[in-house]
Structure 1
């Protein structure tokens, strides 16, 4: 059975469990992210009338939170996303990563993931994959590793999470 987003006007009146389910489909399940969104975005229902507007408010909040959240909270939010090419990804991530190829490519991605996580301890590489070739994604990953800019990396990860959420919202009937 496919999940369908409820109309956005119901979001602020959902139970905590229903909000958690909704956010888990848009982003990835993450208690830290759920708490941030539940306290700083959902209560401001007058600022969003579509899931696109809602996700853009989440993006703004995430970028602003880079100044206020501690590293553990930031890392928890970013690390809620599965490793690229990981076989234990969510249904959404599995579908989004279809273009990344077979077992040989997964081995290359595994090594790049390890190098990425050594370069950026506590983080995971997050990128909007859907429709992009493995070569393009792997080149992006190599460039981001080479930059070694952890502050930029956190922002790029938050932006990618929201780009992914926008695409998921469209696919789940919410945009």
Structure 2
């Protein structure tokens, strides 16, 4: 998608066209998901006509404010719409560009797949999300190892998935990861605005 509807179209009131335009914009910026359509779009649509939104960056901030008010499980379902780090199939055009799918060594992709499994075991119901910001998948791999507290390696099987431990769902460590992921989603959305030439 190369252009977004105008802000005035989004703020025109509670009409099917305005809600549809808002859903379209949010799906581009945050990745489409049932949680986005069932919860974020209606929540923002109800407040957008009277909100102080002068730019798409303001809209992202309003969305983040709404997300921060959700319970952690709903936030986790929202974050789950983003592709896993290292995935090369079924990516939106913006996700593919952000993850720089070309020229990643197979060993790095295999390691990332293993790290995703380790992360998802440690943080049940979560998916590792980070603002790539032009970094290579190998750099992201090292970041994931740091988050998991495991040594750098190119192994696609070490450590054992069960060996990374497991955070308590809803506990402080798990909630911290949810909040970190939401912040990353916000950074990704703002970077997408720049990529689309709007702010």
Which structure 2 residues correspond to residues 29-108 of structure 1 after superposition, within 5 A?
29-42=32-45, 43-45=47-49, 46-65=51-70, 69=71, 71=73, 73-88=74-89, 89-98=91-100, 101-108=104-111
Q: Give the CA deviation at 1:172.
A: 1.6
1:111 matched to 2:114: yes
Which of 173, 177, 184 in structure 2 is aligned with 1:160? 184
Considering Cα pairs closer than 8 Å and 6+ residues apart, tell me whether 1 or 2 has the greater RCO: 1
Q: Give the CA deviation at 1:84.
A: 0.7
Q: Give the CA deviation at 1:20.
A: 2.4
**CA-to-partner distance for each residue in 1:117-147, whole Å, 9 max, x for gaps?**
1011111101111311334312221232239
- Give the aligned CA root-mean-square deviation in angstroms: 2.2
Q: Is the 8 A contact 1:28 1:80 kept in 2?
A: yes
Moved more, 134-143 or 11-20: 11-20
Question: Structure 2: 5+ residue runs without aligned partners?
Answer: 150-164, 168-172
**CA-to-partner distance for each residue in 1:47-99, whole Å, 9 max, x for gaps?**
2110111101211221222xxx362x222201100111112222111110117
Moved more, 74-83 or 145-154: 145-154
Q: Measure the CA separation in 2 of the matches of 1:64 and 1:139.
A: 31
Question: Structure 1: 5+ residue runs without aligned partners?
Answer: none
**CA-to-partner distance for each residue in 1:93-121, whole Å, 9 max, x for gaps?**
11101178232211111010000110111
Aligned to 2:11: 12
Q: Measure the CA separation in 2 of the matches of 1:108 and 1:157.
A: 21
Which of the pair has more CA radius of gyration?
2
- What number of residue pairs does the alignment pair up? 170
Which protein is richer in helix relative to its size? Answer: 1
